[in-house]
Amino acid sequence: MKPYRTAALALLLAAPALPVLAAQSMLIHSAVWSATYVAAYQPTFGRRGVPFTGTMTLRFNHGIISGTYVSDSVRPDPLRGRTVLVSGGVSHGQIHLIFQAPANFTVRGTLAEDAEISGSTTINRQIFSFVARVKSVP
């Protein structure tokens, strides 16, 4: 196949992904944006099992974060059936999220270029790993 045909074919195959990639890259570059995340956290050490999971909707406004977290874990979860308020901030790729739940825990970590959040938190003297990936962008 000729080089220009190969390049055209590659472009056509990648075309359906371009709007998604453009939307995700635009997220980080604008000062005001929002996204719905699929979030999971589980103990870093010891028995891991199935992670606690939930849906998190966040709004970013010039570094200030606000939103909610709703648990949808398949395992017993202390946050099950609650809508938990989430607040926090982001600066230079460093993020902190405060979950205003009975345990009132804070996730500290990083916000990647693709808007993935990864970090850790301590709940009842146990360290948990936390990951949230973008599910949708309004």
Full residue range of the structural domain in which residue 96 is found: 3-136
- Angle, CA of 128, 88 and 137, to the nearest 5°: 90
- What is the tens place of the pLDDT at every residue in 90-126? 999 999 999 998 778 999 999 999 999 999 999 888 8
- What is the tens place of the pLDDT at every residue in 18-57? 344 444 444 455 899 999 999 999 988 877 678 899 999 9
What's the pTM? 0.76
Q: What is the domain count for the chain?
A: 1
* Domain of residue 99, CATH code: 2.40.128.120
Residue positions counted in the chain: 138
